């Protein structure tokens, strides 16, 4: 009976399609692809990247679906619009998020198949991969090239196509985490030890395995970064919930005044300082206070005009004037 249940049971918890899902390693979004190319709002730098694929319609659709998923997810996490997020390319080929013309502190990864486009973002480095069940079915034929001795038997890789897709997704996700590939250092360098509770032999890599209706999604992250990741994700989550996109740095709503500022900490996460220019009210700053339970930031974070309005409406409009104090 247990073998029968294992054969029909999904490998990993279900991942809702079209909705951002938060895990201990970061956020994930899975979209089911169509034959159409999704509409994107692209910056000039992104348009230059897109131009590399215009002669290859199939590759262009893949590129567009991946960027559409990643822009949508990053915007949801940061409280922005998808068009406010740039997806550029690192030297390794991995995606890099930019907001307001500057690199975002968030790390990103994406993957696509014939069926799905999947994106992931995290406060620390992440790698994500999606494998269709029909692609997983070829794993037994290439096992000698991509699996080490005893690996398939140890993790039950060949029980069903769902298990096979899960193995392939985990290997690819860990390779992306390390910014490697299936040829160098190769899929054999990642040994899958368990699918029941996803685990690889490399103890420095943590993995999550999730299921789509016709595929597997694996998310990989640095195991030793969990405490910092938890703090960062709590920070991002609380900020986005208040409608303030603190990780954006666009030069909008700015002013030429340096001082004075009026400050208060109100309906914001602990250790956060909100400042507003008293000369014109045209700029807001949010800073993490020294000693706050979050990693220090190198510079104040300036809010977009849309985020300013949302934050003012929620945090400042109901406040009395005597709740502010003058600062240097």
pLDDT digit string (tens) for 40-49?
999 999 999 9
* % of the chain with per-residue pLDDT over 90: 41
- What's the CATH number where 122 sits? 3.90.470.20
Domain end point (choices 169, 196, 225): 225
Domain end point (choices 225, 255, 282): 225
Domain that holds residue 179: 2-225
Q: Is residue 74 part of a domain?
A: yes
CA 146 to chain CA centroid, nearest Å:
27
Q: Which helix or strand (DSSP H or E) is residue 210 part of?
A: strand 205-212
- 84 and 177: one domain? yes
CA dist 110 → 120, 146, 161 (Å):
6, 22, 22
- 82 and 196: one domain? yes
pTM assigned to the model: 0.72
The helix/strand count (H/E) of the chain reads as: 9, 17
- 200 and 275: one domain? no
Comparing 47-51, 61-65, 185-189, 248-252, the range with the smallest average pLDDT is 248-252
121-145: b or e for each residue (b if 16 or more CB lie within 10 Å)? Answer: bbbbbbbbbbbbbebbeebeeebee
Q: How many domains does the chain have?
A: 2
- 130 and 167: one domain? yes
Q: Is residue 236 part of a domain?
A: no
Per-residue pLDDT reduced to its tens digit, 81-100: 888 889 999 888 889 999 87
């Amino acid at each position: 009976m247990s073998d029968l249940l294992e054969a029909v049971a999904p490998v990993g918890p279900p991942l809702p399609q079209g909705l951002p899902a938060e895990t201990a390693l970061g956020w994930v979004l899975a979209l089911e692809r169509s034959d159409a190319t999704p509409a994107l709002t692209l910056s000039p730098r992104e348009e230059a990247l897109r131009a590399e694929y215009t002669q290859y319609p199939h590759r262009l659709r893949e590129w567009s679906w991946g960027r559409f998923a990643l822009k949508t997810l990053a915007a949801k996490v940061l409280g922005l619009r998808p068009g406010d997020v740039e997806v550029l390319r690192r030297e390794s080929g991995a995606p890099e998020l930019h907001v307001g013309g500057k690199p975002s502190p968030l790390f990103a990864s994406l993957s696509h198949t014939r069926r799905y486009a999947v994106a992931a973002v995290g406060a620390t480095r992440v790698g994500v991969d999606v494998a269709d069940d029909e692609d997983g079915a070829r794993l037994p034929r290439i096992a000698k090239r991509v699996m080490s001795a005893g690996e398939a038997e140890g993790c039950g890789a060949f029980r069903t196509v769902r298990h096979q897709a899960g193995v392939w997704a985990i290997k690819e996700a860990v390779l992306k985490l390390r910014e490697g590939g299936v040829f160098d250092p190769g899929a054999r360098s990642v040994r899958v030890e368990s699918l029941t509770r996803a685990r690889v032999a490399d103890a420095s890599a943590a993995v999550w395995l999730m299921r789509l209706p016709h595929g597997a999604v694996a998310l990989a992250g640095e195991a030793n970064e969990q405490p910092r990741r938890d703090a960062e994700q709590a920070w991002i989550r609380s900020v986005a919930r208040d409608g303030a996109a603190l990780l954006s740095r666009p030069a909008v709503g700015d002013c030429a005044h340096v001082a004075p500022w009026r400050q208060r900490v109100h309906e914001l996460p602990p250790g956060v300082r909100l400042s507003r220019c008293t000369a014109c009210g045209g700029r807001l700053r949010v800073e993490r206070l020294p000693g706050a339970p979050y990693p220090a930031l190198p510079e104040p974070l300036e809010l977009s005009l849309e985020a300013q309005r949302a934050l003012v409406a929620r945090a400042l409009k109901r406040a009395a004037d005597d709740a502010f104090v003058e600062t240097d």
